[in-house]
Amino acid sequence: MSEETEKAFRRVLKRKQKPTFKEIDGYRNFLFISPNGYPMQESNYKSVLDGVVKKYNKNHEKTPLPKIMPRSLRHTFCTQLARKNMNPKNLQYIMGHASITITLDLYAHASEAGANREMRSLIA
């Protein structure tokens, strides 16, 4: 985790409201909590993202953002890790995929430029 990311998480923890319960299915100390005190779920993130996009688009009419779904953030995160050549098995673990095939088919995008770059690095 980068130092900047750690600082951002620490800011979140400082502002975090106290949950109204201690544990769900053996898990506790959730980082992101909804206004009703429960762990954030996809619908909560969707609402937050809708609000961010709406506010941005109100002030940037010439370059509006498209609708952003929580799943697209997950996909972008994983794709960027794959592009940085993260070990596919580690990527599979992080994403929680049961099969390496899912990880490779969804996120390990091949391209002619990438293949050429790797071939040149092996020859050098």
pLDDT of residue 19: 56
**Model confidence band, residue 112 (pLDDT cutoffs 50, 70, 90):** confident
Residue 55: exposure state from Cβ atoms within 10 A (0-12, 13-18, ≥19): exposed
Q: What is the mean pLDDT of the chain?
A: 86
pLDDT at 16 over 80: no
pTM: 0.62
